[in-house]
A and B are shown apart, each in its own frame.
Chain A
Amino acid sequence: MSGSTRSNFILGLVLVAFSAVLLFVWIPLDTDTGYIEKVRRQVTVGDAAAPSIAALFLLTGGLLLIFVERARADQPAFGRRHLVFVLSFVGWTVLSLLVMRYAGPALVAVLGMDMEYRLLRDTLPWKYVGFLIGGTMLISGGISMVEGRVRPQRVLLSLVITTVMMLIYDVPFEDLLLPPNGDV
């Protein structure tokens, strides 16, 4: 036992707690037909049965972690570092995607067009606005994070990559819709 980390033990506790919530709160409250149900004078399997099996898998896994694999030597350290990464990079990705979603409609509104973006989403240049801005943000954000600084030529490179991607999807295939043009 290395003693350096207790991630198995903690994960085990989290999973036991989660599966308890699943079994006793979420599944009973959020399914309509119970484990078994009587319809048409026949007993059938209800909608709660299968998720409960899933919960039992989680529970067994959690218990095994706590009682059998608690002291294993090869436990990964898991902690703040991972959280910081997720919050920063995934946070940036979420922001980029929100820009992707709303840049087009916002631009249409700002320019005072007499049509909604919804109706313009299949016309140039509107259909590219969101994907280009959001995509460039996403890629350049990732690059800059690893490089530790923002370099203009990287942003330009990201714009080029996003443009190429956009053309790959949009030019040869008439039926493909780039985000966010399918659901505005």
Chain B
Amino acid sequence: MKMILRAAAAAAGLAVLATGALAADWTPPGPIKLMIAFRAGGGADTQARLIAEELEARHGWKIIPEQVTGKGGLNAAKAISGENPDGTAIAMIVTETLGYNLRAANAGSPDMVTPLTTTAGSQMAVVALTSAGYKTLADVIAAAKGGTAIRFGVMSPSLADLAYVIGKENGIEFNIVSVKGGKAVMNGLTAGDIDVGFGAGIQAKAVSAGDMVELASVKSEPLANSPDAPMLTEFGVEFYNDTMFMLAGPKGMDPAARAAISAAIQDIVNDPNSKANQFIAKGFGGAVTISGDELDAIIAKAYSDADALMAASAE
């Protein structure tokens, strides 16, 4: 038995070594298609294009970016799923695509794609204009209890659920307004169309200028810019949103290609001299590079957690 285990371990070690070696020599057999699940010109799109630029410069690979937008990244996930798994097609999505969105749409299981690596997290917060006078989420809840109708801007279905649960746990009901993208939340706040809203990091500049205030952290940890902002748990909400940007390949992707592309991308986003790293630091609170089993586990958890959030918001 011991022998078998040792042999298995050796074989596994060899396999890892072999993959590593393969990854080092791996070159794409042709141009790589990069599907971007976000609107051209937005923060996520810029991030993907900067990474693509750097991949071309460092490795001489040819990257062809292409927009495949819509349905919270599901269109891109479906499109990448069936592509050739030899490393000539990858997609930029968010973990939420393979978690809540895939679950809610009932459109398949996360193994429809091969996760490569994350690139960045988010600074998800409840945001309001400073001029509105709220200091923390508690003030908003108090105002709502006092009879003020509060419009809550959200940019994805899971955040809409979350906004609802925040209200439910505190005995109030928000008017939940769905808008397209974080920029639209910012515009809605400024125009007075909504009172509070979620920001995934785009609020950083306005917060440091004092125009906006982060009322609560929606992450599982405190916010980088407002470390004193309360956590959602303080309001009886057990859910949080730790969405990360990630790249994925087709289902059943060649392990050598997976390892090589993941490593190449991680090198870039972790290199403080790269434009991609600087961009991520500015807009998304710094690079986060999780890959392999750890990433698979995060996605699996996000997928199974979706049920609980949906159940909580269906009550």
Contacts and interface: CB of A to CB of B under 8 A. Distances in A.
- A–B direct touch, CB within 8 Å, in complex? yes
Interface of A: 39-42, 115, 118-122, 175, 177, 182
A122 B62 contact: yes
A42 B176 contact: yes
**Dominant SS among interface residues on chain A:** loop
Contacts of A115: 29
Interface residues of B, number: 17
Interface string B28-45: 011101000000000000
B69 interface: no
Given A119-B30, A121-B30, A40 B64 contact: no
Contacts of A40: 160-161, 164, 176, 313-314
Contacts of B31: 121-122
A115 B164 CA distance: 54
Contact of B29 (A39, A42, A119, A177): A119
A175 B64 CA distance: 7
Interface of B: 29-31, 33, 62, 64, 66, 84, 88, 160-161, 164, 173, 175-176, 313-314
Contacts, number: 32
Contacts of A122: 30-31, 62
Contacts of B88: 118-119
Counting chain A CB atoms within 10 Å of each CB, the highest count among B30, B164, B173 belongs to B30
Counting chain B CB atoms within 10 Å of each CB, the highest count among A41, A120, A121 belongs to A41
A120 B29 CA distance: 9
Given A40-B164, A40-B176, A177 B64 contact: yes
Contacts of A175: 64
A175 B49 CA distance: 12
B75 to A, nearest CB: 15
A115 B29 CA distance: 9
B176 A118 contact: no
Contacts of B29: 115, 119
Given A41-B173, A118-B88, A119-B88, A182 B30 contact: no
Contacts of A119: 29-30, 88
